[in-house]
Chain A
Amino acid sequence: DDHQLSVEDLELKYQTNINKAGEILLRDGPNELKPPKGTPEYVKFARQLAGGLQCLMWVAAAICLIAFGIQCGQGDLTSADNLYLAIALIAVVVVTGCFGYYQEFKSTNIIASFKNLVPQQATVIRDGDKFQINANQLVVGDLVEIKGGDRVPADIRIITSQGCKVDNSSLTGESEPQTRAPECTHESPLETRNIAFFSTMCLEGTATGIIVNTGDRTIIGRIATLASGVENEKTPIAIEIEHFVDIIAGLAIFFGGTFFVVAMVIGYPFLKAMVFFMAIVVAYVPEGLLATVTVCLSLTAKRLARKNCVVKNLEAVETLGSTSVICSDKTGTLTQNRMTVSHLWFDNQIHTADTTEDQSGQSFDQSSETWRALCKIVSLCNRAFFKSGQDNVPVPKRIVIGDASETALLKFSEIALGNVMEYRERYKKACEIPFNSTNKFQLSIHELEDPRDPRYLLVMKGAPERILERCATIMIKGQELPLDEQWKEAFQTAYMDLGGLGERVLGFCHLYLDPGQFPRGFSFDTEDMNFPTSGLCFAGLISMIDPPRATVPDAVMKCRTAGIRVIMVTGDHPITAKAIAASVGIISEGSETVEDIAARMRIPVEQVNKWEARACVVNGGQLKDMETEELVEILKMHPEMVFARTSPQQKLIIVESCQKLGAIVAVTGDGVNDSPALKKADIGVAMGIAGSDAAKNAADMILLDDNFASIVTGVEQGRLIFDNLKKSIAYTLTKNIPELTPYLIYITVSVPLPLGCITILFIELCTDIFPSVSLAYEKAESDIMHLKPRNPRRDRLVNEALAVYSYFQIGAIQSFAGFTDYFTAMAQEGWFPLLCVGLRAQWENDHLQDLQDSYGQEWTFGQRLYQEYTCYTVFFISIEMCQISDVLIRKTRRLSVFQQGFFRNKILVIAIVFQLCLGCFLCYCPGMPNIFNFMPIRFQWWLVPLPYGILIFVYDEIRKLGVRRHPGSWWDKELYY
């Protein structure tokens, strides 16, 4: 309540002019926002190692080590497979962890580079002397001076002020500059005029004030603290992966348990059966999946970064794809955050000015005489000027010294006329009355350009109704007509229309002074006003607004087609908010609010059927009195919502309410006031250029070019990666079965082991990684931007259909392929299938050097071992051949591969070639047998699995055909994943 105290009380309270600044500094700490508790780097790294999949792999590694321990305990030292497996699992987790950490580290660096590191200076008056000190040395009670262009160094109670205006947009979302003056105007410290807030910009004028709060105790500090208190939401993809891990773990334990029982029944000793159990559980862990998911996500992150979306957390790249509601801030996000001339009214007609950032829009007809007169007034009656040395900068980007509306007008006339500065010099200014709140007009008198014309020109602008009062005539098409009732009516209509658009309207008029009465060199006196200020000629109205960014309406439209609801949540006033909402399409054409309907039907608001109103504008005051249920009710009732005058706390509540409705919420914003909501949202998107540090810290994604349209890209990429991850996972899961069945058959039927552990690791971590990643490059099957957002409860990343189809159908076919090839290789080398059954004990007996095959030939253990390696290799090749077919079918889930195009995804083609080359290399590179247990195999064994590969392809085409032809049938339900 410092704003309500008198200056004397305030001095008493803070003992201004004290000499013990140092003491207070020690007590309160430096005047700066404590950086949000940065997560220590080791915690960030640890987080990379503790995701759902990572945990699964840790558990698997632990199991492997236990199994290895049991084997060692039994004195079985022949096979270190379990040890290798554990090491591989741990290595995968650590390597992908490092990779993910590096990715995030890189994007953090990009974001950090945006931070302004220059320490801020402040002018402080201590004991009557002025000092320039670092702003962080300020303490409560210090007397500080601020002037236009300064950043307010702390929360300041204004004592004196000369036309001081501040930009509160980052704090409250108001795009208009706010006047600061010594008078207390409101009970609330946020609304009163005599407090200037830490970190807001002083746009013009000067002021002095006493610091009442510093550092984290400032308003902005409190909001930042609020944000840091909000827990980060789990990303949808993390939830999906956990769900997926549950499925995997469930299946693994189910299988392990089943075969444990089987092994016990067959008569294995308990410990041996236990080792089998563990091996099966571990075999279910898709070692390669973690790498695939990480690489796919970072590919998308890279793709997004190229489109200027930087993602802080890898998992967040998918979130926009799942988003069903976007809560967008207005100022600086949807709008350009600069006042711009948007409409003009002259010649009894409303003209629309070009408000695009790059002046690419259409201009209006500029041939009228009235326009020329109006333009002259606009140029001359303006105190704003360009900072020098910006001749090469495009006009909209030039820095202007002056108030926001004058800036807008200056830029407008600069574009319309050319060099305004020079123009002004030609019309020498004789005298000037600046704008003040009592007059509500601004006036200046100029000599004319033509030296032979001795007249003076008086130009005036101001609040339209005040200007009109002073006018006697109105200029229409260059003619001065008397301002009668009819014209006044027309003026009123235009004024209301423009005001209704949420625009700030100014009136313009002029008068050529009588040269007899006012000869050259006449001394104009601004105090006495010894010149006429009435009976002027009205030229026109100009209205200004902070216009929407050019790309926003299109982006909003695209979001809507994509089934995403866009809600505006702003700190600005309802009328402006509604106008902007309407112009960007958040409130669509023809949608009415309850109030609109009431006005149209001329009935009281209470009688309107609220369900008829599609749109709704709720303001902060109403929101304060609302229960959460009511808010939820309103959100359900009106599809098009605008929240105006909301506090940071309320933004948070709105986000929570949407989440309560089951939506996945994205919040876009740039201001400090958005930061709690940004943090609470499933994905917070902050603006990179306009955004405050607080917002960027709280956000998960940063748009480097502040382009709202990038969100659409984010949605598209997010949806695409969700679809493609599904494909990658399906591809990766499939081979789990052909990797597992050899072991199951080995246990139950006691054939020589068809597939070894190291070989499995090669499939998982070497040959199949590239193809599964290449699926991330797959194009969308349909126009994903015309679909609803996925329902997070129903449309899972990995659903039962996917698991069942991959495991029990495609995986089964692959297993059969592997066994066919295995038995072929065995039979052609002398071991017929029936002989293999039950052969295991003898086969693995390393004291038996003369085991007879089907032809009576005798084999040493070493020869059998190489034969076993041959089997591994043959099985490996079978899986590879089937996986080539698998990756082709995974290109689409619904369309035929022929519709999608075989070679459209070049990366995938390269991946297949790479996979084949790698397979050849592993088989035929000398030395492989003794290092990695790969044997050079005969050519025809590459061909044995081909029929199964073709079967996979044909079967999947049949599946897709059925899915396309009979949507909703049992076939569709069971086989569409």
Chain B
Amino acid sequence: MFGGTLAGGGSGRRGLGGSEGAPRWGLPHVGALLDPPLFSPPPALILFFYLVFYGFLTALFTLTMWVMLQTVDPYIPKYQDRLSVPGMMIRPKTDTLDVTFNVSNTESWDRYVKMLNDFLEPYNDSIQAATNDACRPGRYNEQPDNGVLNYPKRACQFNRTALGACSGLNDPTHYGYADGRPCILIKMNRVGEAGWGLAPPNFEGSPPHTFKLGEMVMYPPNGHIDLMYFPYYGKKVHVNYTQPIVAVKFLTLEANTDHNVECKVNAVNIATTDERDKFAGRVAFKIRVNRD
């Protein structure tokens, strides 16, 4: 690589070993500059050396990487040290998590509606029915391998219709954006099998100014997510896994006011108090409905 060019120059060395004998003269010869130049190996040899050297290193690297990959199961994550608390996100999502629109200005909320449409596409009942099972609610949907390694897992249906007024189906109000009663979808990041255990999470709006937020309604009811959607077995075996979501519809949002809303997972085993990560088990966003 780079070595060839630099190594070409002869390198000075100091004689070691007493065999050379002590010189009688302290002064270096004036002719030292004329001393025969040190033998410089041909660049080709050096190039070859580095080729072998880096070839060997690359081989060792490949070997250790291969060994390492043997320790990693492509189906089940080895560790989930960072994922003890699932992150949360809202839809429609903007960089600033700011949902601001003018009821009478279609263009101002058009993109939100488009985002929600795209997002809910896979939740269409027809697709769900085609790919996923209707599971029994109220218990974990555990699917042991039963001897077959990484046996494909079935996912439970989460039908778009379950979102009720926020499903956007046959909805002239476009998720409520057209009449100033917007829906916000709240999704929880999926994390793997080791997951977070027993108690089902449900969502809870804990706004500082509840009175201003006014009434709201959640789908599924009370923002409760059923146990049957857990655990998640990873994208390889759990191909059609449909993430459960919670929709919040703000019914009587005071107009022309900024509303800061924070949603938290309410589950016994999910801490939502991480100071550093504002999206661990909770999400905060701003919503503002402008009316002319």
In the complex, identify which listed stretch (B14-22, B156-164, B198-206, B244-252) lies at the interface while the others stay far away.
B14-22
Contacts of A972 in B (CB 8 A): 13
Given A663-B26, A808-B50, also A970-B45 (CB < 8 A): yes
Contacts of A787 in B (CB 8 A): 14-16, 18, 20
Specify the chain B residue showing the minimal Cβ separation from A560: B22
B208 located at the interface, meaning its Cβ lies under 8 Å from any Cβ of chain A in the complex? no
Determine if A803 and B190 form an interchain contact, defined as CB atoms under 8 angstroms apart. Answer: no
Question: Nearest Cβ in chain A — how far from B155, in angstroms?
Answer: 12
* Pairs A–B under 8 Å by Cβ, sample size 14: A325-B27, A787-B20, A788-B23, A791-B12, A799-B13, A809-B53, A828-B72, A830-B79, A849-B283, A856-B238, A857-B190, A863-B280, A867-B82, A972-B13
Interface residues of B in 62-95 (CB under 8 A from A): 64-65, 68-69, 71-72, 74-83, 86-89, 95
CA distance in complex: A937, B223 (Å): 37
CA distance in complex: A531, B88 (Å): 128
Contacts of B57 in A (CB 8 A): 812-813, 816
Given A661-B30, A856-B235, A973-B10, also A808-B277 (CB < 8 A): no
Contacts of B41 in A (CB 8 A): 970, 973-974
CA distance in complex: A861, B88 (Å): 11
Size of interface on B: residues with Cβ below 8 Å to A:
79
- Cβ contact of A790, chosen from B14, B18, B278, cutoff 8 A: B14
A47 located at the interface, meaning its Cβ lies under 8 Å from any Cβ of chain B in the complex? no
Contacts of B77 in A (CB 8 A): 829-830, 853, 855, 857
In the complex, identify which listed stretch (A332-340, A507-515, A562-570, A765-773) lies at the interface while the others stay far away.
A562-570
A367 located at the interface, meaning its Cβ lies under 8 Å from any Cβ of chain B in the complex? no
| Most B Cβ at <10 Å: residue of A325, A794, A833 | A794
- Cβ contact of A801, chosen from B11, B18, B25, B82, cutoff 8 A: B11
Question: Nearest Cβ in chain A — how far from B116, in angstroms?
Answer: 16
Determine if A857 and B6 form an interchain contact, defined as CB atoms under 8 angstroms apart. Answer: no
Determine if A819 and B49 form an interchain contact, defined as CB atoms under 8 angstroms apart. Answer: no
Question: Nearest Cβ in chain B — how far from A881, in angstroms?
Answer: 13
CA distance in complex: A813, B57 (Å): 7
Determine if A858 and B189 form an interchain contact, defined as CB atoms under 8 angstroms apart. Answer: yes
Question: Nearest Cβ in chain B — how far from A896, in angstroms?
Answer: 14
Specify the chain B residue showing the minimal Cβ separation from A853: B77
Specify the chain A residue showing the minimal Cβ separation from B45: A970
Contacts of B139 in A (CB 8 A): none
Contacts of B74 in A (CB 8 A): 832, 854
Determine if B72 and A849 form an interchain contact, defined as CB atoms under 8 angstroms apart. Answer: no
In the complex, identify which listed stretch (B32-40, B101-109, B255-263) lies at the interface while the others stay far away.
B32-40
Contacts of B40 in A (CB 8 A): 973
Interface residues of B in 170-192 (CB under 8 A from A): 187, 189-192
Determine if A789 and B60 form an interchain contact, defined as CB atoms under 8 angstroms apart. Answer: no
Apart from the given pairs A820-B68, A829-B80, A863-B87, 11 other A-B contacts in the complex at a CB distance below 8 Å: A565-B27, A663-B26, A783-B18, A787-B20, A812-B57, A816-B57, A828-B78, A832-B74, A862-B277, A867-B82, A968-B39
Determine if B25 and A863 form an interchain contact, defined as CB atoms under 8 angstroms apart. Answer: no
Specify the chain A residue showing the minimal Cβ separation from B193: A855
Question: Nearest Cβ in chain A — how far from B208, in angstroms?
Answer: 22
Contacts of A636 in B (CB 8 A): 27, 30
Contacts of A968 in B (CB 8 A): 39
- Cβ contact of A782, chosen from B16, B28, B96, B276, cutoff 8 A: B16
Contacts of B12 in A (CB 8 A): 791, 793-796, 799
Determine if A973 and B22 form an interchain contact, defined as CB atoms under 8 angstroms apart. Answer: no
Interface residues of A in 713-749 (CB under 8 A from B): none
CA distance in complex: A622, B23 (Å): 28
Given A325-B26, A325-B27, A786-B22, also A828-B280 (CB < 8 A): no
Specify the chain A residue showing the minimal Cβ separation from B26: A565
What mask results when residues 798 to 838 of chain A are scored 1 for a CB within 8 Å of chain B, else 0?
01110110001100110010011001100111101100000
Determine if A850 and B89 form an interchain contact, defined as CB atoms under 8 angstroms apart. Answer: yes
Determine if A823 and B68 form an interchain contact, defined as CB atoms under 8 angstroms apart. Answer: yes
CA distance in complex: A787, B20 (Å): 8
Determine if B28 and A663 form an interchain contact, defined as CB atoms under 8 angstroms apart. Answer: yes
CA distance in complex: A85, B88 (Å): 35
Determine if B276 and A849 form an interchain contact, defined as CB atoms under 8 angstroms apart. Answer: no
- Cβ contact of A812, chosen from B15, B28, B54, B81, cutoff 8 A: B54
Contacts of A795 in B (CB 8 A): 12-14
Given A663-B28, A850-B89, also A857-B10 (CB < 8 A): no
Specify the chain A residue showing the minimal Cβ separation from B24: A639
B142 located at the interface, meaning its Cβ lies under 8 Å from any Cβ of chain A in the complex? no
Determine if A947 and B65 form an interchain contact, defined as CB atoms under 8 angstroms apart. Answer: no
B2 located at the interface, meaning its Cβ lies under 8 Å from any Cβ of chain A in the complex? yes
CA distance in complex: A793, B29 (Å): 12
**Chain A interface category by residue count:** 35 or more
B3 located at the interface, meaning its Cβ lies under 8 Å from any Cβ of chain A in the complex? yes
A977 located at the interface, meaning its Cβ lies under 8 Å from any Cβ of chain B in the complex? yes
Contacts of A853 in B (CB 8 A): 77
Contacts of B277 in A (CB 8 A): 860-863
Question: Nearest Cβ in chain A — how far from B97, in angstroms?
Answer: 8
Contacts of B64 in A (CB 8 A): 820, 944, 947
Contacts of A862 in B (CB 8 A): 87, 274, 276-280
Determine if A639 and B191 form an interchain contact, defined as CB atoms under 8 angstroms apart. Answer: no
B1 located at the interface, meaning its Cβ lies under 8 Å from any Cβ of chain A in the complex? yes
Determine if B69 and A827 form an interchain contact, defined as CB atoms under 8 angstroms apart. Answer: yes
CA distance in complex: A485, B36 (Å): 66
CA distance in complex: A717, B271 (Å): 62
Contacts of A973 in B (CB 8 A): 10-11, 13, 38-41
Q: Write the residues of chain A forming the contact surface with B, with a CB cutoff of 8 angstroms.
A: 324-325, 560-566, 635-636, 639, 658, 661-663, 781-783, 786-791, 793-796, 799-801, 803-804, 808-809, 812-813, 816, 819-820, 823-824, 827-830, 832-833, 847, 849-850, 852-864, 866-867, 870, 894, 930, 938, 944, 947-948, 951, 968, 970, 972-974, 976-977
Determine if A824 and B68 form an interchain contact, defined as CB atoms under 8 angstroms apart. Answer: yes
B197 located at the interface, meaning its Cβ lies under 8 Å from any Cβ of chain A in the complex? no
Contacts of A947 in B (CB 8 A): 60, 64
Determine if A563 and B26 form an interchain contact, defined as CB atoms under 8 angstroms apart. Answer: yes
Specify the chain A residue showing the minimal Cβ separation from B12: A794
Determine if B234 and A324 form an interchain contact, defined as CB atoms under 8 angstroms apart. Answer: no
Given A800-B7, A867-B82, A947-B60, also A788-B15 (CB < 8 A): yes
Determine if B87 and A564 form an interchain contact, defined as CB atoms under 8 angstroms apart. Answer: no
Question: Nearest Cβ in chain B — how far from A607, in angstroms?
Answer: 25
Contacts of B54 in A (CB 8 A): 812
Contacts of A977 in B (CB 8 A): 11
Contacts of A870 in B (CB 8 A): 81-82
Determine if A562 and B22 form an interchain contact, defined as CB atoms under 8 angstroms apart. Answer: yes
CA distance in complex: A636, B27 (Å): 8
CA distance in complex: A656, B291 (Å): 93
Determine if A863 and B82 form an interchain contact, defined as CB atoms under 8 angstroms apart. Answer: yes
CA distance in complex: A847, B95 (Å): 5
- Cβ contact of A662, chosen from B10, B24, B28, cutoff 8 A: B28
Determine if A828 and B27 form an interchain contact, defined as CB atoms under 8 angstroms apart. Answer: no
Determine if A786 and B18 form an interchain contact, defined as CB atoms under 8 angstroms apart. Answer: yes
CA distance in complex: A813, B50 (Å): 13
Question: Nearest Cβ in chain A — how far from B68, in angstroms?
Answer: 5
Determine if A974 and B27 form an interchain contact, defined as CB atoms under 8 angstroms apart. Answer: no
Determine if A635 and B27 form an interchain contact, defined as CB atoms under 8 angstroms apart. Answer: yes
B214 located at the interface, meaning its Cβ lies under 8 Å from any Cβ of chain A in the complex? no
Determine if B191 and A857 form an interchain contact, defined as CB atoms under 8 angstroms apart. Answer: yes
CA distance in complex: A820, B24 (Å): 54
Specify the chain B residue showing the minimal Cβ separation from A856: B235
Determine if A324 and B26 form an interchain contact, defined as CB atoms under 8 angstroms apart. Answer: yes
- Cβ contact of B11, chosen from A833, A856, A974, cutoff 8 A: A974
CA distance in complex: A633, B109 (Å): 96
Determine if B65 and A564 form an interchain contact, defined as CB atoms under 8 angstroms apart. Answer: no
Question: Nearest Cβ in chain A — how far from B33, in angstroms?
Answer: 8
B216 located at the interface, meaning its Cβ lies under 8 Å from any Cβ of chain A in the complex? no
CA distance in complex: A970, B47 (Å): 13
Determine if B279 and A820 form an interchain contact, defined as CB atoms under 8 angstroms apart. Answer: no
- Cβ contact of A803, chosen from B6, B17, B81, cutoff 8 A: B6
Specify the chain B residue showing the minimal Cβ separation from A867: B82
Contacts of A849 in B (CB 8 A): 87-89, 189, 279, 283
Question: Nearest Cβ in chain B — how far from A140, in angstroms?
Answer: 46
